[in-house]
Amino acid sequence: MDYEQLKAYLMGKPEVTQDLPFAPDVPVFKVRGKMFALVGWKDGVMNMNLKCQPEQIDALTDIYPAITRGYHMNKRHWLTLYFDGSDAEQEALRLIDNSFELVVKGMNKQAQQQLLGTS
């Protein structure tokens, strides 16, 4: 997956905005002002930080060498996925969906209903 494909998927989520609060080459994706994804490059390799349940992070880091605890983030609740061509990339869309949902579930009930279509 290249950056343009990744960005299109992230921006396709409801009410997502992109911001550059940290550096001009570190796009942050937010839903209603709350960050759920951050994209960066390290040694020429694209990576993405995503919010995740701690128990899932433990399992994912055991399975995939390209998934680590969040780089420059709270390592208990964030992971980093490196787009290095490995099998871990297959998890990217699911992990984006999960991160988006986790952030939205931290919002009030009305926002959850609007953004997730739940009742």
Question: Which CATH number fits the domain that encloses residue 7?
Answer: 3.90.1150.30
Q: Which domain holds residue 60?
A: 3-116
**Computed over its alpha carbons, how large is the radius of gyration of the chain?**
14
What's the mean pLDDT in 97-116?
93
Number of domains composing the chain: 1
At 53-90, the pLDDT tens digits run 999 999 999 999 999 998 788 788 999 999 998 888 88
pLDDT of residue 119: 53
Three-class DSSP labels, the chain: CCHHHHHHHHHCCCCEEEECCCCCCCCEEEECCEEEEEEEEECCEEEEEEECCHHHHHHHHHHCCCEEECCCCCCCCEEEEECCCCHHHHHHHHHHHHHHHHHHHCCCHHHHHHHHCCC
- Split at pLDDT 50, 70, 90, the class of 117 is confident
pTM recorded for the entire structure: 0.92
